[in-house]
Amino acid sequence: MLEISTNSVTSRIDKTKYKSFLAIITSRRSSTRRYLVSVLGVAAIVAMFLPWTQNVRARGQVTSLAPGERPQTINTVIPGRIEEWFVSEGQLVAAGDTLLRLSEVKDEYFNPDLLANVREQVETKESGAVSYMQKANALDTQIDALISSRNLKTQQQKTKLMQLKLKIVSDSIAYEAALANAMVADEQFKRFKSLYEKDLKSQTELEQREVALQNARAKETETRNSVTIAQQEYRNATVELLSIEQDYLDKISKAESEKYATLSALYDTEAQITKLRNQQANYQVRSGFYYITAPAAGYITRALVQGVGEMVSEGAEVITLMPIAKELAVEVFVSPLDMPLLNKGQEVRFLFDGWPAFFFSGWPGVSFGTYSGKIVAIDNFISENGKFRLLVAPNPDDVPWPVGLRVGTGTQAFALLNDVPVWYELWRQLNGFPPDFYTNTIPQDAKKK
């Protein structure tokens, strides 16, 4: 039993039938178990002090960094009837390629000569506008001629008034002289009459003085009449000057009124021309909407309207297009609890659906098949699903993302935070505390003190 002899009987004895053997074997197994437990305990205690990288997990999907490169639906601008398809689902198209053709369904656009008719109307209105402009120019010339004629007539009349005024002054002087001569002749007649009564003068001389007196009085009357006539002529000339100004004012006002009426008709015609040109441009643009083209290069994913001859309304969705994305990004939704932990420029690791990966959330350095990105945008408002959206772009300093990635591919995101011991992370998880995102920094003033 001591295993000393070379002829061992161990193989001939069934040790399970004896309690002593069972006690010895159990004791040996218990020692081994205690040793293993001790080793594992020591390893667990050591592992508790290993560094652990805190992270925030979230689901997301691949999208494009540029809004114009994301999946989009192509709509009709005008109502119409589908006449012909030029593409099929899954086909690659370039920007500007024709996808389908529509025909008109509104009766006001059925006329095939609609554009030509509108163009003729525009030309007719333009000719009318030229005629109105020429008439306005002619009226301007007429008004200028009337103004010149009025100025000339007015100047002539003013000159005549000046002459009449001078004539009044001259006739007034002659009247004063004639009045003085009449007074002198009257005094001489009275003296001669007195001398005649005293027989100192003859009757002939008295009669001569009487004739001289009558001539002086006649001259006085003549000059007084001349002054009165001159004054009346001056007043008549003044009235005539006012009449000339009024007459020409009426003529000029009538010409200006006709001119403004012509300009009003011209402006109305120009407004009609503008309206017709706008209508013509609308018809031309509308004719271009009969063909629906691809806004960007991409793949036709699905036709939302099938067949030929089907009617579509204005703004109806007819086809979906997946543009060729040149700058991929990941759209991630995080809970409001984790949103304050994230900032622009922070690193995020990804596991893309369909790409094999081996990932340790706490030790990203030993992970395989993960890809890095940096946060470029964080929404300031919550989304409809109750989470905040993040937009993450590829990290240019890390491994490039897989070439076969497509928009819409699902992904698991891990935003890397602080490095803490494993025991602290377990304690945090058990108590439901958020990750550490506060930085204990000592102010500069405190450091100086």
DSSP letters spanning 401-445: PPTT--TT-EEEEEEEEEEEEHHHHHHHHHHTPPPP-------HH
The reply to whether the predicted model has a pTM over 0.75 is no
DSSP, res 358: B
- In this structure, the chain runs to a length of 449
Domain boundaries along the sequence of the chain: 1-41, 50-68+325-448, 71-104+290-322, 114-288
Nearest-CA neighbor of 409 among 126, 91, 60, 107? Answer: 60
What is the spatial distance between Cα 263 and Cα 253, in angstroms, rounded to a whole number?
15
Residue type, 285: V
What is the spatial distance between Cα 67 and Cα 225, in angstroms, rounded to a whole number?
104
Look at residue 396 in the predicted model and tell me its pLDDT.
87
Residue 185: CB atoms within 10 Å? 21
Look at residue 429 in the predicted model and tell me its pLDDT.
63
Query: Residue 367 class from Cβ within 10 Å (0-12 exposed, 13-18 middle, 19+ buried)?
Result: middle
What is the spatial distance between Cα 293 and Cα 94, in angstroms, rounded to a whole number?
9
71-104+290-322: CATH topology: OB fold (Dihydrolipoamide Acetyltransferase, E2P) (2.40.50)
Look at residue 261 in the predicted model and tell me its pLDDT.
93
Cα–Cα distances in Å, from 8 out to 2, 11, 17, 19?
9, 7, 18, 20
What is the spatial distance between Cα 421 and Cα 38, in angstroms, rounded to a whole number?
22
Look at residue 180 in the predicted model and tell me its pLDDT.
87
DSSP, res 388: E
Look at residue 269 in the predicted model and tell me its pLDDT.
92
b vs e for 79-99, b when ≥16 Cβ sit within 10 Å of the residue's Cβ?
Answer: ebebeebebeeeeebeeeeeb
Nearest-CA neighbor of 277 among 104, 118, 59? Answer: 118
Look at residue 417 in the predicted model and tell me its pLDDT.
63
The CATH class given to the 114-288 domain equals mainly alpha
For 89, the 3-state DSSP assignment is coil
What is the spatial distance between Cα 177 and Cα 171, in angstroms, rounded to a whole number?
10
Per-residue confidence of the chain (449 residues) as pLDDT tens digits? Answer: 455 556 665 666 666 666 665 555 554 555 677 778 777 877 777 667 666 665 677 888 898 888 888 888 999 988 999 999 999 888 999 998 999 999 888 888 888 888 888 889 999 999 999 999 999 999 999 999 999 999 999 999 889 889 988 988 888 888 888 888 888 888 887 887 888 777 777 778 778 878 888 888 888 888 888 888 988 988 998 999 899 889 999 999 999 999 999 999 999 999 999 999 998 888 888 888 899 999 888 889 888 888 888 889 888 999 999 888 788 899 999 888 777 777 888 888 888 887 765 454 444 544 455 788 899 998 888 888 888 899 999 988 888 888 878 888 888 887 766 566 666 666 666 666 556 544 434 444 444 44
Look at residue 320 in the predicted model and tell me its pLDDT.
92
DSSP, res 36: H
50-68+325-448: CATH topology: Elongation Factor Tu (Ef-tu); domain 3 (2.40.30)
Residue 388: CB atoms within 10 Å? 21
Cα–Cα distances in Å, from 298 out to 65, 72, 325?
16, 10, 8
The helix (run of H) or strand (run of E) holding residue 376 is strand 371-378
What is the spatial distance between Cα 112 and Cα 260, in angstroms, rounded to a whole number?
40
184 near 261, Cβ under 8 Å? no
Look at residue 406 in the predicted model and tell me its pLDDT.
82
350 near 329, Cβ under 8 Å? no
